[in-house]
Structures are given as C-alpha cells and as structure tokens.
Amino acid sequence: MVVKGQQLQPSEHRTAEPSRTQGHLLNYNPERMSTVLLRSIIKCFSAVCLVAAASLAVCAQQPKASPTPLPQDPQQGPIRIPVRRVRLPITVQDKKGNFVPGLTQHDFIILEDKVPQTIETFSDDIAQNLPLYVAVLMDTSPSTAGKLKFQQESAMNFIQTVVKARKDRVLFGTFDDEVTLLQDFTERLDLLDKAVYGVKKMGKQTALFDAVWEFCDQKMRSVPGRRVLLLVTDGEDTYSRANIRDAIEIAQRTETTIFAISTKAGFLSTVPGVEAGTVADKKDRDLLTLAEETGGAAFFTGDMLSLERAFNRISKELRAQYLVTYDPTNKQYDGSFRKIEVKLADGHGGLKVKTKKGYPAVADSVAP
C-alpha cells in the first residue's frame, strides 16, 4: 500500500524459482517391487477409508453454513463490487486545435464494442461541479539525477497552473526502486512546495509502471471527482513488476487520465516528440501510449517556456471537457476489454474527439 513516508519494495515480491532435485531408484527387483507396491496400495486405501469416515462424522456434528456470507475482514481490504457506470471525460477540438464548447448530449454518439450506448448523464460544465484530484509523480532514478531541479520546477509549475485554489486537491510522490508518497491530497501549496523541493535522495532503479499501478489502485480509485495523474520522468522503466499494459489497465479501471512530461532533455534543448509530430524511441512511445489510451497527452520538451504553454493547454483542456456517463448494455464482467468509440452526430465534420480508448470489464469498486 502507498502510505505517506512509506516505500513499496518491489524486490519483496520477486521470488526465485524453487530448486529441483531428481531422485534415483536403486537395486531394482521387479518381483519384490510388485509385492511391496501391492501392500502399499492396500495400506493407503485402508487409511483413506478411515480418514473419510472420521470426516463425515465431524461434518454431521457441525451446523450447516449460513446462506448469507459473513462480512469481509476489514484487514483484507475493501469489498469489490462491479462498476455499473462508465464515466467518460471527452475533449472536442476543431481543426486549429481550439477546444469546442456548447455541444449537447444529442451531439454525441457513444459506442462500446460497436454497440450504441444510451447516455445517462451529461455535463458541459464539470469544472464548476466536480473537483480535480491530481497525483504528481516524479522520477528520482539515477538517469534523472542531473535534472532534479528541472523536474521540481516542472512539477510545481504544473501544480500552480492547473490546480484551482481552494477546490482541487494534489498529492506528490516519487518513484525509483521504491514508490513513496511524500504528501497526501491537499489544497495547500506550501505543503506541496516543501514536499517537492525537499527531495534530495536518488534511488537505484526506475519502477515507473509500478508507481502508476500503486497510486491509481490505492489513491485515485477512492477519491470523488475527476482524476489526473502527472508523470515527470524520462520514460524509462527498469524495475517494475507491472508492465505498461498493467499500468494502462488500472488507469482505465479507476478512470484516471494520465499526462506525461518527458525530462530527458532537461534544460538543454527541445527534443523531437509529440508536439513536433514525432516520437524518438521506445521510452517516448511508452509515455505517449500511457497518455493516449487514458485520454491524456504527453509532452517532450526541455524548454521551461514551452512546458508552461503545455501546462496552460492542459488546464484549459481539463476545464473544457464534457463529462458523459452511461450504463453498459453488456452486463458480463468477464475481464474482456471493452473498446469505446465516441463520435459526433451529423453536422459536426472536421472536429476531433478525444477520450479513453476503453476499459477492462472486471468486478471493481471506484468512487463516483
């Protein structure tokens, strides 16, 4: 569990494959072995009969089980219940990239696995209705050691630009070979500033996907309102038990939108990335995939001025989103992936719609 000041040790869950020894059969005698084997079978059968008889006698004396299940032990974690509503934050842009306001419920067509869905609730002013919960996670692995100041300034600039005072909440954590919560959800910028600039120690590895998993599963799923996770990282994972699909799945299940800021260039230069229309390597592609499949965006620049423009854009996007919920027609929670497609009705050609790609249909519990 992610607890303030407490680290998750991925190595504790890594067990070595058990050793195996091979037995040898010595002094083999077919006739003698047949006799011994027959006697052993008779003894074993007799023992099994005695055990079965004793078990039946004990069961007959015990009361029958109650048809009503007993309450779950609180120490075993929360009881999971199926998610019965799907919530979609939707962004609509024109050809110039401007956000499009003023659309109504009747302008949207929601498809799940190509099956039309009935919109249950619709809002075009969610900035006034629902608070924003933001988890800011900063990479403190060796590969980012020379960019610590840049990362800290990036994290605080994002918080100050995107978060609405006295309404939204932010937590701050770090990840390397450990995943650590340094400041739980708060609206106080002084506490966040202290936590962010208080980071001095760097770790030995990078558990990026574990960090996404832990914070989504243990912090984001239980908060009300909209959920955003910001990754400040160079994008390389070297240590996680989870993989990128695990990280995307838990974000989709907990309705968390991921934004990523690549810090591999530091202050040195602007590097090719999403904003330039290209992705340089696997690390970039992973960050881009995490963001796109959860409805967010990734930014690849080492220029603070460019980052500030990106933060302003994220802030405007979050305030311009439409929020749609629907009750899926498919009630089978079989673990399969449900693909979501959002279209606009006729008369809205040329507009681009962005939302999460889908979700895994599993029995789960997520705060509304």
Contacts of 334 (CB under 8 A, 6+ apart): 361
pLDDT given for residue 265 in this prediction = 59
With cut-offs at 50, 70 and 90, classify the pLDDT of residue 310: confident
Does the predicted TM-score (pTM) go above 0.95?
Answer: no
Pick left, alpha or beta for residue 56 (phi over 0 → left; psi -120 to 50 → alpha; otherwise beta): alpha
Task: Give the pLDDT band of residue 63 (cuts 50, 70, 90).
Answer: very low
The span from the CA of 204 to the CA of 10, in Å, is 12
pLDDT tens figures, 222-272: 998 889 999 999 888 999 999 999 999 999 999 999 999 888 754 444 433
Lowest mean pLDDT among 26-40, 144-158, 203-217: 26-40
Among 237-241, 265-269, 322-326, 347-351, the least confident range: 265-269
Which among 170, 252, 258, 241 is positioned nearest to 217, based on CA atoms?
252
Q: What domains are defined for the chain?
A: 86-126+323-360 (no CATH), 130-320 (3.40.50.410)
Q: Give per-residue pLDDT as tens, 2-12.
A: 655 655 444 33
pLDDT at 128: 55
Residue 111 to residue 341: CA distance in whole angstroms: 5
- E strand residue ranges, 115-157: 115-117, 119-123, 132-139
Q: How confident is the model at residue 202 (pLDDT cuts 50, 70, 90)?
A: very high
Residues 210, 175 contacting (CB under 8 angstroms): yes
Query: Helix or strand or coil: residue 161?
Result: helix
Please give the average per-residue pLDDT across 189-206, as a whole number: 95
pLDDT > 90? residue 140: yes
Answer whether 110's CB lies under 8 Å from 117's CB.
Answer: yes
What per-residue confidence (pLDDT) applies to 160? 93
pLDDT at residue 198 greater than cutoff 70: yes
pLDDT grade for 305, boundaries at 50, 70 and 90? confident
Question: CB–CB of 333/124 below 8 Å?
Answer: no
